[in-house]
A and B are shown apart, each in its own frame.
Chain A
Amino acid sequence: MSTLPSTRIYEGTRIPSPVPTILEVDPEKHRLDDILRVNFGPNHPSTHGVLRLVVDLDGETVAGIRAVIGYLHTGFEKNMEHKTWWKCVTYAPRIDYVSFQANELLFTQAVEKLLELEIPRRAVWARMALAELNRIHSHLVWLGTSALELGAISLFWYCFDDRDQILDLFEMAGGTRMHTRYFQVGGLAEDLPADFTKEARKFCDSMPKSVDEYEAILDRNAIWLERTVGVGLLSADDALALGQSGPMLRSTGVDWDIRRDEPYLAYDEVDFNVPVYGGGDVYDRYRVHMDEMRESVRIVRQCLDRLDAMDGEPWIADDRKVVLPPRHELHTSMESLIHHFKIVTEGFTVPEGEVYVAIESPRGESGCYLVSDGGARPWRVKFRAPSFAALQATATIVQGLLIADLIAAGGSLDPVMGDADR
């Protein structure tokens, strides 16, 4: 990691006190008689899901704000305590349904860490390729919806067209377009199909051109620039104090990316840059997202080259206590049949212990805290949701904004409510 540029967008801190997530109306700046309390959401189209914002308005200016979440709380963590480890893998991608593959990766990595299980290199590179495709997918959804909210409707369709090509690739690899459950504890559920790298290369050729086109639409658009530049300011110190991560943190000038600074999978073997901007506004968050899509395409290309070179290698670890035996062996080997039966009915057991694994998901630091008592089900599963942390910054970034800019600023946090509420 290079040294942190000291970004000072504003003096001191803007984090409200004593509660960092509630901005109270300041009686010295606003006449309390003039304050109008407006309820945004939870079913407002521009709240990216079921986010509720209670906004105190002085004219059109935001004088106070409080974010209310929990409308999409589905009790994933409680449910997972009642499922066997290998069934829990299906739950993880549904938590953050936009970066599903990243969550699947996170959970399988955490279980593998508890098991101290090495996964074969073909699985490592396939996971990286799919995780990066998922990053592009997530950024496209962010870009399309954020631009849509600010009036750039056409961009939404372009983004979803490219997103569809990524979903086609997921369908090709795992059989389903979203929530693939393609990552399995120990590696992959199946080998990549023969044409996967060929089709993925086609996408890698077209995607950078698409990013150029998106920039051509937005970067010279006066409305887009006026609505994003200097809006939703957050300084580097405030971002760190509020636990911001991912594009949110990198737009404030903090040069931090878990992929590079605490490498997992094989990120230390690929060549990529970490885009960092220092403006701390919505525009710089957009810039980080655009650059990250280009960098992800670079990573995917390198992964595809490696995958071609590893054609025919095993894609799942050879540990019969954890991994299902190959299908064909079930007809000939009694031992394989027993292993298969035991894993499917009782599930495999995971040694006693606790781990916290963090990966760089499209939204920032996604963490998974697992506690095992040595049984076939987790004792405790806790996800550190980047959207949950990002929404804590709402009260800091909206200070003094107009009500219309609240949409731009809120959208730039890139919250996925399934992730925040779990």
Chain B
Amino acid sequence: MTTYADVPGLVETREALGETTLVVDPARLGEACTVLRDDHGFNFLSDIAAADYLGWGEQDVAGYIGTAGGRDIHAPGSQGLARVPDPKPKRFSVSYHLLRVSDDPARVRVQVWLDEAEPVTSVIEIWPAADWFEREAFDMFGIQFEGHANLVRILMPEDWEGHPLRKDYPLGGEPVRFSDED
């Protein structure tokens, strides 16, 4: 069993479903990632995945899509949430999925929690592969990565407003004009 006690800024270590999650203080993410790369051999950044937990555990955010105005799927006895999910510390999580490409392969997830508009250090100096992954997280969630020299939109058009994967961004987010409005 590998121990990650030497990772700077380590807040919590979670083991679930055979995966290790290291929750790290966002202010010390750079140090933590450097130690993971240099001392633990995580030479490969697989992915950076952000997630928005706005409305997590509240009604009408999960379960059957037809709940709006309909019956409450989370009511006791329905096949909705068996229990209210555990609260999350902040609104956004950013998960860095690391891989050790070696004779002794291993995977670990480094996770930081951020409030809205709270910046986090870019890991582009540690793994250049972070470039586009960070741009995507910025584009989709508005996560600010400090030290990224080209933090611009990547998937959405440059003049797009809003961050589409945020939970307060509607599914049909594009305004549609009808001819009778002109």
Residues of A within 8 A of B (CB): 1-4, 15, 18-22, 69-70, 73, 75, 77-79, 82-84, 113-114, 116, 240-243, 254, 256, 261-262, 342, 345-347, 349, 352-356, 358, 365, 367, 369, 371, 373-377, 379-380, 382, 384, 388-389, 391-392, 421-422
- In the complex, the answer to whether A70 meets B156 with C-beta atoms within 8 Å is yes
Find out whether the CB atom of A365 lies under 8 angstroms from the CB atom of B51.
no
- 7 CB-based A-B contacts, threshold 8 Å: A78-B169, A243-B44, A243-B129, A349-B79, A356-B19, A375-B73, A379-B62
Residue of B nearest to A352 (CB): B85
Number of A-B contacts (CB under 8 A): 160
Given the interface pairs A20-B128, A375-B62, the reply to whether A114 lies near B81 with Cβ below 8 Å is no
In this complex, how many residues of chain B approach chain A with their Cβ under 8 Å: the count is 56
Smallest beta-carbon distance B11→chain A, Å: 16
In chain B, what residue has the closest Cβ to A347? B64
Closest residue of chain A to B139 (Cβ to Cβ) is: A70
- 1/0 contact string of B121-142 vs chain A (CB within 8 Å): 0001001110110001000100
Whether the pair A382, B129 counts as a contact (CB closer than 8 A) is no
Measured between alpha carbons, how far is A3 from B44 in the docked complex, in Å?
A: 16
- Which of chain B's residues 53-78 have a Cβ closer than 8 Å to chain A? 53, 56-57, 61-65, 73
CB pair A369–B97 under 8 Å, yes or no, is: yes
A373 to B65, CA, bound (A): 14
Interchain CA distance A79-B154 in the complex, whole Å = 19
Within the complex, which residue of A82, A346, A355, A379 is in contact with B17, where a contact is CB–CB below 8 Å?
A: A355
Tell yes or no: B3 within 8 A of A by CB. Answer: no
- Chain B residues lying within 8 Å of A356, measured Cβ to Cβ, are 19, 46-47, 49, 95, 97, 107, 109
Q: Tell me if B's interface is mostly helix, strand, loop or mixed.
A: loop
B101 touches A256 (CB 8 A): yes
B contact residues around A84 at 8 Å (CB): 64-65
Give chain B interface residues in 22-55, CB to chain A under 8 Å: 43-47, 49, 51-53
| Contact indicator A70/B157 (Cβ below 8 Å) | yes
Q: What DSSP secondary structure best describes chain A's contact surface?
A: loop
A-chain residues with CB within 8 Å of residue B53 when the two chains form the complex: 379
Is the Cβ of A376 less than 8 Å from the Cβ of B62?
yes
Contact flags B77-93 to A (C-beta < 8 A → 1, else 0): 00111110110000000
CA gap between A208 and B109 in the complex, in Å: 40
A256-B62 Cα distance, complex, nearest whole Å: 39
* A-B CB proximity, top 10 nearest: A375-B62, A243-B129, A20-B128, A384-B47, A382-B49, A70-B155, A73-B155, A380-B51, A18-B149, A369-B49
Q: Name which residue of chain A comes closest to B148, CB basis.
A: A19
Cβ A358 vs Cβ B46 within 8 A: yes
Q: A83-B65, A256-B101, A377-B65 are in contact. Are A243 and B154 (CB under 8 A)?
A: no
Q: Which residue of A lies closest to B61 (CB)?
A: A373
Contacts of A374 in B (CB 8 A): 62, 81-83, 85
B80 contact from A20, A113, A114, A349, Cβ within 8 A = A349
Report yes or no: B101 in contact with A375, Cβ–Cβ below 8 A: no
Question: Considering the chains assembled together, what is the distance between the CA atoms of A375 and B62 in angstroms?
Answer: 5
Scan residues 108-167 of chain B and give those whose CB is less than 8 A from a CB of chain A: 109, 124, 127-129, 131-132, 136, 140, 149-150, 153-157, 164-165
Q: Is B105 an interface residue (CB 8 A)?
A: yes
Task: Determine whether the beta carbon of A375 is less than 8 Å from that of B49.
Answer: no
> How near does chain B come to A97, taking the closest CB pair, in angstroms?
17
B107 → chain A closest CB, angstroms: 7
Residues of B near A388 (CB, < 8 A) are 132, 136
- The answer to whether B180 has its CB under 8 Å from any CB of chain A is no
Q: Which residues of A contact B156 (CB under 8 A)?
A: 70, 73
Contact assessment for B171 and A15 in the assembled complex, using a CB-CB cutoff below 8 Å? no
CB distance from B76 to the nearest CB of A (A): 14
Shortest CB distance B31–A (Å): 19
Residues of A within 8 Å of B99, CB to CB, are: 358, 365
Q: Is the CB of B46 within 8 A of A243?
A: yes
Cβ–Cβ < 8 Å partners of A20 in chain B: 124, 128-129, 131
Q: A82-B65, A382-B47 are in contact. Are A422 and B155 (CB under 8 A)?
A: yes
Query: Bound state CA distance, A345 and B124, in angstroms?
Result: 45
Contacts of A369 in B (CB 8 A): 47, 49, 95, 97
Across the interface, which residues of A come within 8 angstroms of B45, CB to CB? 243
Chain B residues whose C-beta falls within 8 Å of the C-beta of A375 in the assembled complex: 61-63, 73, 80-81
Given contacts A352-B85, A373-B56, contact A1 B103 (CB under 8 A): yes
**A116-B17, A369-B49, A392-B132 provided; 8 other pairs, C-beta below 8 A?**
A83-B65, A346-B73, A355-B19, A374-B83, A379-B62, A382-B47, A382-B49, A392-B131
Are A22 and B150 neighbours in the complex by a CB distance under 8 Å?
A: yes
Give the complex CA separation of A421 and B19 in angstroms: 27
A1 close to B102 (CB less than 8 A): yes
Contact yes or no, A346 B63, CB < 8 A: yes
Whether B1 is near chain A, meaning CB under 8 Å from some CB there, is no
Candidates A18, A19, A243, A262; contact of B127 at CB < 8 Å: A243
Q: Chain B residues with Cβ under 8 A from A262's Cβ?
A: 105, 107
Establish whether residues B62 and A15, one from each chain, have CB atoms under 8 Å apart when the complex forms. no
Is A241 within 8 A of B129, CB to CB?
yes
Known: A373-B85, A377-B62, A421-B155. A19 touches B56 (CB 8 A): no
Q: How far is the CB of B64 from chain A (nearest CB, A)?
A: 5
